[in-house]
A and B are shown apart, each in its own frame.
Chain A
């Protein structure tokens, strides 16, 4: 009897082990497949940017080739590219700083104070993202022209702020909601003014959230193309527009396009890897904050 009791148990154990192994194998297989789907276009782009122009678009592709930085050298020798790159850095950087300076205090006030019609204000802020950009691009063009903002860096900075403000306010409001009010009360009891409490206690506690919205705002503005296309011509051209310029009406300069695209991606990728931990913490909307 005892033997009979044990045997079915061992079989069950074996089955359980097999099932677990199978689940692990399938899970890893799916993850590998997904990684391949995500990373292959990047690999394709990178390899294309490292091939000589004639070889970049050859079919079947040359899987084994001698890498060259020719395309990159060509790129940096074009003053337009450097100008556009600097333009983008300056405009996007300034817009991120300004959108944080406006959005974070706004989110804090909406989170902590009894603001009349708070919900309406929040929906109004969000409404700026409710229409597809193509629907508002023409009105923006007319407004920019009337206000002499067309093809100016200031104009593009304002444009980027309008794109990102709703994101910053909504995400940061959720983040501040997750930070206990007792922290500020403790600071006030400890002798801090309300402003000191905000600066010394709340803001540092909200750092992961601020980092994450800063990064996302940067990316949104960095990759923006449509408004750059319509609202700039020479002076304030962003780097996305320069990349786009390699797509001509008759031919596409694939290797240069790939090199320019990589030049856009690499700084953002390095930046993202560096601040990855803040991004993860920030996107969890404050739940990782421990008291």
Chain B
């Protein structure tokens, strides 16, 4: 186990004017035993950053410490790390046992018997004890994945590095292996860096997320922190499926005029907005309510464009009736709610669930409410099947329930529990993202 410190690391590929900055001045402190997930879209620099930690790439600038050791000049073999690759990188000419024992033979002076004992132990732990004599080509994708993990854990390294290890598996196996890796990490308590572009993996697995884009860190925080208190529009849009809806607009006398509707800014929002005139309003699909008739008076009219039934929920794509441009936004509704294309509905965007972003920089200037509170959705009537019948709010510790509008990255809060705040009292454990 070891702490990893990344200090002002920059990585450029190429030279001179044609160089590409893959990692841009990244500093990060990964705690001992922490499960840290690097997440971002393709080309965000997440894999490069991990490869720099592994010693497979050399940074152009900056320092990497593993434990107390400055490892800038050390090759991968001297860093006491183990890595799981996206394509598993199992040695095709070796059996499973040889694959798993290769690292021990290369990096330790252990006797053959001791190596065999450790390999058998790790293989049993991964449930591949009966595959030790097989070659990788004879194994299924899931088995290969287990071998790759087994090869990593048998070495008992200081740090695990995992580079999109689940991306080659089918959806069911991926879910299984997610749990498996989580369990392993908990059991072994080894500092783990995990790279993924899949936000579900990021949300479910990481103690903390590092969200990267264009080689720069966008936000570091717990999954729920990043989800509920995104530091900028990129993070808000990246986490959550479907993505947060964004509406560009201008501020006129306490009202945000977006294309197709007006939104009244609360006092707290106006304070945060200051003298800005151009804003982007962000609201998640699950936070918007749909009504058949105007009820609270703040709704705007919209026409259903497409309905995607997903079973328990449906995604409804809508267009505001009075908009000048064709802009579609998404609303999540109850799967059993009868709704059809071309239907006219009334859309309520609850002020408590709204984020505001600077239109130029994308920085968050106002966060949604967090903490214990009645959900606006229940106000609009879950009982009428307008939205999720059972939705969850996140309960934060007392330190966090400040309701401040500063960027989440500086809030220092930590979610401690999920609780259901809906008419339905018996809930399943909450999903990441806050739903039951």
Q: Do A and B bind each other?
A: yes
Interface of A toward B, CB cutoff 8 Å = 180, 182-183, 185-193, 196, 200-201, 204-205, 207, 289-291
A186's closest neighbor in chain B, by CB? B89
- Among the stretches B90-98, B297-305, B325-333, the one at the interface with A is B90-98
Cβ contacts under 8 Å, A207 to chain B: 93
Could you list some 25 contacts between A and B, CB below 8 A?
Answer: A182-B86, A182-B87, A183-B92, A185-B54, A185-B85, A185-B89, A186-B85, A188-B56, A188-B75, A188-B76, A189-B77, A189-B81, A190-B77, A190-B106, A191-B103, A191-B106, A192-B106, A196-B106, A204-B91, A205-B93, A290-B137, A291-B88, A291-B89, A291-B92, A291-B136
Give every chain A residue within 8 A of B87 (Cβ-Cβ): 180, 182, 291
Chain B residues positioned under 8 Å from A183 (CB to CB): 89, 91-92
* B interface residues, how many (CB within 8 angstroms): 30
Q: Is A190 in contact with B93, judged by CB distance below 8 angstroms?
A: no
Which of these, A186, A188, A189, contacts B91 with CB under 8 Å? A186
B199 within 8 A of A: no
A189 to B90 Cα, complex, angstroms: 12
Interface centre among B86, B90, B108, B161 (most CB of A within 10 A): B90
Across the interface, do A193 and B77 meet the contact criterion of CB distance under 8 Å? yes
Main secondary structure of the interface of A (DSSP, over half): helix
Chain A residue numbers with a CB within 8 Å of B106 are 187, 190-192, 196
B83, CB-defined interface residue at 8 Å: yes
- How far, in whole Å, are A46 and B88 apart by their CA atoms in the complex? 52
Q: B-side interface residues toward A, CB under 8 Å?
A: 54-56, 75-77, 81-83, 85-94, 102-103, 106-108, 136-137, 144, 151, 155, 161
Q: Across the two chains, which residue of chain B brings its CB closest to A191?
A: B107
* Residues in B neighbouring A196, C-beta threshold 8 A: 106
Closest to A196 in B: B106
Q: A182-B87, A205-B91, A205-B92 are in contact. Are A188 and B144 (CB under 8 A)?
A: no
Nearest 7 A/B pairs, CB to CB: A191-B107, A191-B106, A190-B103, A290-B137, A204-B93, A186-B89, A182-B89
Give the chain B neighbours of A189 by CB distance below 8 A.
Answer: 54, 56, 76-77, 81-83, 103, 161
Instruction: Please judge, given known A-B contacts A187-B102, A189-B77, A290-B137, whether A201 and B107 are in contact too, CB under 8 Å.
Output: no
CB-CB nearest in chain A for B139: A290
Q: Please, how many angstroms separate the alpha-carbon atoms of A183 and B99 in the complex?
A: 11
* Chain A residues whose C-beta falls within 8 Å of the C-beta of B83 in the assembled complex: 185-186, 189
CB of A291 within 8 A of CB of B56, answer: no
18 further interface pairs, Cβ-Cβ under 8 Å (given A189-B81, A190-B107): A182-B85, A182-B86, A185-B89, A186-B85, A188-B76, A189-B82, A190-B103, A190-B155, A191-B106, A191-B107, A200-B102, A204-B94, A205-B91, A289-B92, A291-B89, A291-B92, A291-B137, A291-B144
